[in-house]
Structure 1
Amino acid sequence: MTRFLLLALLAVCTSCADRVIYSESIDIDKTGWDINDTLYFDVELTDTISLLDIGMTITHTDDYPYSNIWLFLEVSSDNGSQFTDTLNYIIAESSGKWVGAKKGKNYVVNISYRDYVKMAHTGNYRFAIRQGMREEKLRGVSKLEFRINKSEK
């Protein structure tokens, strides 16, 4: 029975790992996320058939002063296409309880940006993310992970 459970766990972990196309984390300066600091994620995409899920994970502390976070996302590709998106994510309930999992002194919030995306062409893509909270130094955000996975669907 133990072997069966171990094999089942291994199969689940392997199938999750097979879905990951890109994942990178960037630590935010402890003094705060400067309004002029842009986080860059450069991704080479070679698949125009699979559906993709694009998301982020924000790690923050109790020092984060808001219940939401505004982000500006710019996407550009080597074929010249470019677009900008403004995103607003709720990271605390109206009661003040943080959304996400508590990990030590941090809170980790998984955010879905777009699901079931099919890329129009292969090539290099740059995802540039800035904080849009109108604070010169946004305190409390300690890390941002950007990820692209193959959709389960």
Structure 2
Amino acid sequence: MSCDKKREYDEYKTIPNSTWHKENEVAFTFSITDTVQRKNVFINLRNNKSYPFSNLFVITEMKFPDGNKVIDTLEYDMADVTGKFLGTGFTDIKENKLFYKEHILFPTSGDYSFKIRQAMRKNGDVNGVETLDGITDVGLRIEKIQ
């Protein structure tokens, strides 16, 4: 059994039927006690071959113990220019470890919440994609920088 010394928090939530509805926020809650050591925060995604896009737009919300929030709109590449999915894995499921925040200090100790939702839209469509196929799991990982 390997020891993951960098991991401070690591959790996945399964997306029912691998179909991520645009109203379905995936939520995580974690506690921070160390406000001195810098950390990297990752969004972990697992997708299967039915994922229809080469990129992914998400909207994230980090809520701090004092009630302040940081909201970001982020884009990640999910496939290369030839259409081959990025990520690791030998099966039809690919795992993607995507940077969310690098070398950050959490300013206060306490309970934080993190929410993420998909924000994909087809070209020329203002309303966005109601259901996004092919995302099997969404995760959040926090690592200590050593």
Aligned counterpart for 1:104 among listed residues 88, 91, 115: 91
1:139 to 114, 123, 133: 133
Alignment of 1:24 with 2:25, yes or no, is: no
Is 1:81 matched up with 2:68? yes
Partner of 1:4: none
Partner Cα separation in structure 2 for residue 58 and residue 120 of structure 1: 27
For 1:143, the aligned partner's letter is D
Residue 41 of structure 2, aligned match among 54, 70, 74:
54
* Structure 1 residue identity aligned to 2:65: D
CA–CA distance in 2 between the matches of 1:32 and 1:80? Answer: 31
Structure (1 or 2) with the larger CA radius of gyration: 1
Identity across matched positions, percent: 26
Partners of 1:129 and 1:98 lie apart in 2 by 21
Q: CA RMSD in A?
A: 1.3
CA contact (8 A) 1:45 1:124 kept: yes
What letter is aligned with 1:19? Answer: K
**Aligned positions, number:** 139
In terms of fraction of residues, the more helix-rich structure is 1
TM-superposed CA distance for 1:127, in Å, is: 0.4
- 1:114 Cα shift? 1.3
Give 5+ residue unaligned stretches, structure 1: 1-9
Question: Contact conserved, 1:61 with 1:106, CA < 8 A, in 2?
Answer: yes
Unaligned runs of 5+ in 2: 121-127
Give 1:31 shift.
Answer: 5.4
